[in-house]
Homo-oligomer: A and B are copies of this chain.
Amino acid sequence: MTHKSIVTLFAAALLSTNSFSQASQSAIAEDFKPSTLNQPGQEYPQVNSQGYARFRINAPKADSVKVSLGLGGRGGTKLTKGSDGFWTATTEGPMDEGFHYYNVTVDGGKFNDPGAQNFYGSVRWESGIEIPAHDQDFYALKDVPHGHVQQILFPSKSTSTSRRAFVYTPPGYEKDKSKKYPVLYLQHGWGEDETAWSNQGHANLIMDNLIAEGKIKPFIIVMTYGMTNEVKWGRIRDFKIDPFQTVLTGELIPYVDANFRTLANRDNRAMAGLSMGGMETKSITLNKPDVFGYYGLLSGGLYSPDDMKDKAKPKLVFISCGSKEKPDGVKQAVADLKGAGYNAVGYVSENTGHEFQTWRRSLHELAPLLFK
């Protein structure tokens, strides 16, 4: 697969974002509750048991208010002004399960919903809403031992600054001071940053729960900024991997190996990424096959056997996407890799698109396969 066609794969998925589920449009159940991502004490936005979202925004003197969610490419949901000065609307149909970014246009200016918490995406802090999912238990906050997520500031000579990363250490990391752990380097997508996998993805809770269930071998996750946002979305093919590759493999990995109790070798080091972070993963793993032993692309392109020939064989290649993206491409790529003797695993998230529910599920599938 060419570089261009990889870009096309996830660009097409993103640009056609249609967050509606395919449920039939029956009567709207009046069991709306505040979204779990609301700011403290805020009643709106709300979601109901069918996945509809309802918005309510105070702007008594405005002439028009709309939210960007609810009609896919067709311009979002227009709100209607009530006599109390609040604008309200319910989405035309139920939304896909999971997390969605959105924003609010008030009289032609783009703002956030004051009721919702903000999440970094689209190169801005956007409002976020959570549609309850049938499988949300796997990323729920439970009464189990919790790992820690720490912000580190690591020195970066190549960019002449201290750069930020977040490091998940599993429960018990602080107690057994002799145990060493494998490490997954996990990248966000275009328009996002190093906060995405914890805030939107709940990567730490996914790990805590899998560890509590005894389903995975505990490992460390490192999340840093992929330097992806300096390139405009339409010009992603112009993105050069070298500066980030230098930061990741020349600066961050040595810092992590020096400051955390890691198993510092290829067979205990994985790299995975979502969307444009998958593109980065593909480039860096193929450029540095001695550094990473496990590869994961989450809605972020495909590997072919040709990509990897004459290189050290990875211990695992994991490729996933949502069923509303291009699952046939994922299935074919995995079949080709298996046919060529690679340990390849594919995963398709049902009824989700190019959004975080696909990636939460993908991490949940990938984690048990790592570091076997």
A residues engaging B (CB < 8 A)?
39-41, 57-64, 85, 104, 106-112, 114, 117-118, 123-125, 141-143, 146, 148-155, 161-162, 167, 169, 174-175, 177, 198, 204, 208, 229, 258-261
Contacts and interface: CB of A to CB of B under 8 A. Distances in A.
Contact of A62 (B104, B109, B167, B198): B109
Given A106-B59, A152-B148, A40 B111 contact: no
28 contacts: A39-B124, A39-B125, A40-B123, A40-B124, A40-B229, A58-B109, A59-B106, A60-B109, A61-B64, A62-B108, A62-B109, A63-B107, A106-B107, A111-B112, A112-B114, A114-B124, A141-B153, A142-B162, A146-B162, A148-B151, A148-B167, A149-B150, A149-B151, A150-B169, A151-B204, A174-B259, A174-B260, A175-B258
Contact of A114 (B57, B108, B111, B152): B111
B162 A58 contact: no
Contacts of A161: 141
Given A174-B259, A177-B177, A106 B149 contact: no
A107 B61 contact: yes
A88 B356 CA distance: 36
A107 B149 contact: no
Contacts of A162: 141-143, 146
A231 B63 CA distance: 35
A177 B173 CA distance: 12
A142 B153 CA distance: 10
Given A153-B141, A153-B146, A162-B141, A110 B118 contact: no
